[in-house]
Structure 1
Amino acid sequence: MQFSVQMYSVREALASDFQGTVSRLVDLGLTHAEPYHLVEFREELVRAREQFAIDFPSAHQSFLGDVDFDEILEAAQAVGVQYLVDPHWRPEDWTDAAAVRELAATLNARAASAAEAGLHVGYHNHQFELESRLEGRSALELFADELDPQVILEVDTYWAAVGGAEVPSLLDALGDRVQLVHLKDGDLSADPAAQLPLGEGKMPLAQTLDASAKAAFGVIEFDAYAGDMFEGIAASLAYLNRTVDTAA
């Protein structure tokens, strides 16, 4: 597994100095990052790839609704994205099995178009996809069973835990479809402000990393953090590097 960072974590810094923020991430030792609002930031991301030793193998962009999907695919290709991930879908739809199956069919159709452009598409969960129980399992697991093999999942391990999942078991159940994992820590409450650098909270990180070892990228993320965000990212990256070295 290689390590990345979700750029939403540093959204305030990006708003004031996009390229300077990317430079700071590179200075922390990161060579991969995961953008959000891919289409909006297309030009800045292309410039960043040209200026810095960083790439953007995965990106968040809403595409399951009524959008110009060709424009999104063009932006993904321009930025060098391999995995295009929709970060959120309406919570109410995850309480109905028919709606979950319809959403999976939409994602499968997007996957066919994306494959022609050389891309994989996927979905990123929050807690509500795990809180909802349908046909004896979580709505996320029902959703996964309806997806074409080429569709990937990005499991947000923290929000899955908040939603009641036993995260290592969930990752085992979802299998090789999980190519991306969001890695974060905290007190396991629904309050984003309670999130902490990796290793400082209650997440079962060692078991989570073991269960996600076959994923392509582990993505550090903070939805919020009471401390200095760059220091929090640096501490999380140091934890991952220590853990990998120890495991090796």
Structure 2
Amino acid sequence: MHTPSVQLYSLRDAVADDLPGTVARVREIGYEHVEPYAFDTNADAYAKAFADAGVTAPSGHAAVIDREDPSVVFDAAARLGMDVVIDPFIPTDRWRTADDATRIAERVNALAEQARSHGLRFGYHNHQWEFTNEVDGRPIYDLFVEQLAPDVVLEVDTFWATVGGADVPAVLRSLGDRVVAIHVKDGKVTGDIATALPSARSALVVPDALRAAYEEQTPAGQGDVDVPAILAAAPRALRVVEFDSYQGDVFDGIAQSLAWLTENDR
């Protein structure tokens, strides 16, 4: 049996209002692991909330690739007892050419080496554009992965890779143990969500069409994503439940995803 995690970005409004209460409620739902975001800005508050609730953070998201001083992030991650730090977002306009893939891969490789000196692993989390943007008929994600050092890890957002047109189980099998975590997310994968993109400044700044499509995300097993095949293709990866947005009570949404994983991920 796997012990799933949940990306706290799913609960960002509640986190902003009451971090300790939110983490405690996540633990009451049944999650033993959490994946915090931007944890370098309030590591002490996260650490207290995690300790009080009895949860751990095997992985976390923070903007590292563009940081002038990544050690701030790695120090915070070590403070929180993490194993893996993931950069969640490099915008689509920087994933256009073979040179772009090389530039990002070289930076990620250097950061992985720096992370190792803090006792951490470092990697990247995709959206759809790394698969929809192609170079010579190949997804630019492939070019990026081919240039990564052996110790660089990946967190595959299986929903966004599906939206981007990837055969996600095949991708996961090809990447093998480099994939240390997957985002388990479900919903509609066609229409505006396949073509609308966030701004180049932030994944949080999105057009109305994409914001509406976000709201069609569902708990695991209730949408268009072949979640069972994805889980089978990444048997050792940490399962991290996430919603970009959800029309209902998001705490109920993450509870439904956990219940589905408990029943189906064996």
TM-score (norm 2): 0.89
Q: Which residue of 2 aligns with 1:119?
A: 120
Q: Which residue of 1 aligns with 2:214?
A: 192
Does the CA-based 8 Å contact 1:4-1:219 persist in structure 2? yes
Partner-residue secondary structure (3-state), 2:154: strand
Q: CA deviation at 1:50?
A: 2.2
Cα deviation, 1:25-47, whole Å, max 9, x if unaligned, reads: 00001000000011113111110
Between the aligned partners of 1:73 and 1:229, the Cα distance in structure 2 is: 30
* Aligned pairs (5 A) from 1:21-170: 21-170=22-171
Between the aligned partners of 1:117 and 1:211, the Cα distance in structure 2 is: 30
Q: Which residue of 1 aligns with 2:250?
A: 229
Q: Which amino acid aligns with 1:222?
A: F
Q: Which residue of 2 aligns with 1:177?
A: 178
Does the CA-based 8 Å contact 2:23-2:50 persist in structure 1? no
Q: Which amino acid aligns with 1:171?
A: L
Does the CA-based 8 Å contact 2:154-2:178 persist in structure 1? yes
Partner-residue secondary structure (3-state), 1:154: strand
Q: CA deviation at 1:197?
A: 0.6
Cα deviation, 1:126-181, whole Å, max 9, x if unaligned, reads: 00001012244211121111101110000000000101111111111222111110
Q: Which residue of 1 aligns with 2:232?
A: 210
Aligned CA RMSD, in angstroms, stands at 1.1
Between the aligned partners of 2:214 and 2:172, the Cα distance in structure 1 is: 22
Does the CA-based 8 Å contact 1:9-1:229 persist in structure 2? yes
Between the aligned partners of 1:184 and 1:130, the Cα distance in structure 2 is: 17
Does the CA-based 8 Å contact 2:3-2:32 persist in structure 1? no
| Paired residues, number | 244
Q: CA deviation at 1:87?
A: 0.3
Between the aligned partners of 1:109 and 1:15, the Cα distance in structure 2 is: 33
Q: Which amino acid aligns with 2:260?
A: Y
Between the aligned partners of 2:5 and 2:254, the Cα distance in structure 1 is: 10
TM-score (norm 1): 0.96
Between the aligned partners of 1:228 and 1:90, the Cα distance in structure 2 is: 29
Q: CA deviation at 1:67?
A: 2.6
Does the CA-based 8 Å contact 1:61-1:87 persist in structure 2? yes
Structure 1 unpaired stretches of 5+ = none
Q: Which amino acid aligns with 2:233?
A: A
Cα deviation, 1:67-105, whole Å, max 9, x if unaligned, reads: 321111110110111100000002112111111111100
Partner-residue secondary structure (3-state), 1:110: helix
Structure 2 unpaired stretches of 5+ = 194-212
Between the aligned partners of 1:163 and 1:49, the Cα distance in structure 2 is: 34
Q: Identity across aligned pairs (percent)?
A: 39
Q: CA deviation at 1:110?
A: 0.6
Does the CA-based 8 Å contact 1:141-1:174 persist in structure 2? no
Partner-residue secondary structure (3-state), 1:95: coil
2:240 corresponds to 1:239: no
Partner-residue secondary structure (3-state), 2:243: coil
